[in-house]
Amino acid sequence: MNILVTAGNTQVLIDRVRCITNIFTGRTGARLALHAHQRGHAVTLLTSHPEVVHQLQPAGDLCPERWSIRPYATFDDLHALMAEAVRHGGFDAVVHCAAVSDYQSAGIFAPAPGTRFRPEDLRWESTGAPTLIDRAAGKVKSDEPELWLRLVRAPKLVDKVRGAWSYRGILVKFKLEVGVGEGQLLDTAERSRRHSDADLMVANTLEGAEAWALLGPLEGRYVRVDRQEMPRRLFDAVEDLHKERGHG
């Protein structure tokens, strides 16, 4: 099989030297990509942390004819790489493990003279209409008492796979929740899988991410899988789907 794996986090730029991001390093996605390669598949890994691969696997053990890494940094970088790869890469499966930013920066502002935000009651106070001043720059100055970053919803890249990019191969989606029980995680995961028209879902909580995840649907249900067993169990399922669809 020809498999695309995404891994790591995305940066959302505030200016040319600052960004917001998340805590994820791409280790899970790198492990999945390496496991798929060890099973004999051709793998392309899009990752924000290519160094993790070298920590997990000596380069001499990788077959260059079946292994490719393409690094990215920002949300826009990953968007462009995925669009090209999914549309034109001829992939049998897309395993979208990257922790993609949910919001993009839409400007950075400071309160104008006479405008003040009251955190005690979450209200703006002003001598006239509350006003913000645009402080966007190549490097935002650090002399303002406070700055306000405007965030707007980013497009869901996983939803573009079936939509704008018209991909019809196997799609694996990942879902992370914080502070929820296993039952709620299961409900959220299955709704999310159906929304994106993914074939398989891997779902876990931040609190349990180092130990287990839910994988499914397998024979109509989700199973709780040990973290160390996840690569094998996931690619068993991906290969079974590939065979069911008449590819071997």
What are the chain's domains? 2-102+155-244 (3.40.50.10300), 104-152 (no CATH)
pLDDT at position 247, please?
74
pLDDT for the residue numbered 59: 64
| Rounded Cα distance, 176 and 197, in Å | 17
Omega into 217 within 30° of 0, i.e. cis? yes
Using alpha carbons only, what angle is made at residue 193 by residues 187 and 194, rounded to the nearest 5 degrees? Answer: 95
Rg over CA atoms, the chain? 21
Using 70 as the pLDDT threshold, list the residues of the chain that sit under it.
59, 248
Q: Identify the CA nearest to 82 among candidates 157, 169, 14, 170.
A: 157
Q: Which letter does DSSP use for residue 74 in this model?
A: B
- Residue 248 has a pLDDT of 61
Residue 127: the pLDDT is: 87
**How high is the pLDDT of residue 229?**
97
- Yes or no: say if 67 and 37 are a contact pair by the CB < 8 Å rule: yes
